[in-house]
Amino acid sequence: MTSARAIRTVHTVAALRDQVRQWRAAGERVALVPTMGALHAGHVALMDAGRALAQRVIVSIFVNPTQFAPTEDLSRYPRTLEADLATADAAGVDLAFVPDAGQMYPEGFATTIALTGPALGLESDFRPTHFAGVATVVAKLLIQSQPDVALFGEKDYQQLQVVSRLVRDLDLPVDIVGVPTVREADGLALSSRNVFLRPEERAAAPALHRALRAAAAAIAEGGDITTAVDEARACVATAGFQLDYLDARHAMTLARVTSHTDGPIRLLVAARIGATRLIDNLAVPN
């Protein structure tokens, strides 16, 4: 006989807030892991980090339509709710918040968040509406659940910096914690979109991480940043990718860097292979 699922699932903001209110009354800390579902080991790492920092963990599962442009893959995004709930339950999550679009964006919804700072460039050059959608839904989730801490993966590094800036600028009382990227044995960053890779594309995909590693090592050893980045771009193209960007940026502000003295450096890449767009990033050792 299988045991009953321990995780509780709620679909409304009112039910979410009621549960959080009870935990607060008991003096318990609350962690939030925002997701769009299709959960994998990278998400489980976020849940594990949440459990280490709080007595209670919430996972939100919501495929946010406002962060997809009309030409992007909203309809193709994998939706695996039952498997997601089982994964969250096995990871010790206490509550799954699974709203529908009407709950998050009720009729007449007319508010978005305007961004500059780390939201400018890189992803926004290719997905100009993306971070406004991300920032708006993340702000709503943080206000709705009022967690002590929220966990975000470093794989979406620019998103992590945008959310961190959002929380600082709006004085939201939550700690944003980045969790290191979880990778396959060959270095490919785990992503819900990896399921779309054809076998030959999957075989080529680790070239992204290899290119970043080589560039990071060259820069750390004192090599010219422009040369290292150009060589990495060439490696990615040779592997069969269509490159959107591969660049070296300041790790906190995401401003362009030209010298080791410009501050901590992060390499970021986005590229397409076949019909799938992959992103990755890597810190340059100090």
Q: Which residues are catalytic?
A: 43
Establish whether 191 is an annotated binding residue.
Answer: yes
Cα dist from 107 to 72, 102, 110, 111, 172, whole Å:
24, 7, 9, 12, 26
Residues 6+ apart with CB under 8 A from 51: 31, 57, 91, 92
The residue type found at 250 is H
Establish whether 155 is an annotated binding residue.
Answer: yes
Establish whether 182 is an annotated binding residue.
Answer: yes
Burial 82-117 (b: 16+ CB within 10 A, else e): eebbebbbebebbbbbbbeeebbbeeeeeeebebee
What's phi and psi for 252, nearest 5 deg?
A: -105, -45
Establish whether 41 is an annotated binding residue.
Answer: yes
Say how far apart CA 114 and CA 136 lie, in whole Å: 9
Establish whether 92 is an annotated binding residue.
Answer: no
Establish whether 42 is an annotated binding residue.
Answer: yes
Establish whether 252 is an annotated binding residue.
Answer: no
Establish whether 141 is an annotated binding residue.
Answer: no
Establish whether 193 is an annotated binding residue.
Answer: yes
Say how far apart CA 34 and CA 218 lie, in whole Å: 35
Establish whether 156 is an annotated binding residue.
Answer: yes
Establish whether 43 is an annotated binding residue.
Answer: yes
Establish whether 269 is an annotated binding residue.
Answer: no
Q: Give the Cβ contact number of residue 173 at 10 Å.
A: 9
- Residue 55 burial (CB < 10 Å; 0-12/13-18/19+)? middle
Say how far apart CA 60 and CA 68 lie, in whole Å: 18
Establish whether 190 is an annotated binding residue.
Answer: yes
Annotated binding-site residue numbers for ATP = 36-43, 153-156, 182, 190-193
Annotated binding-site residue numbers = 36-43, 67, 153-156, 159, 182, 190-193
Annotated binding-site residue numbers for beta-alanine = 67
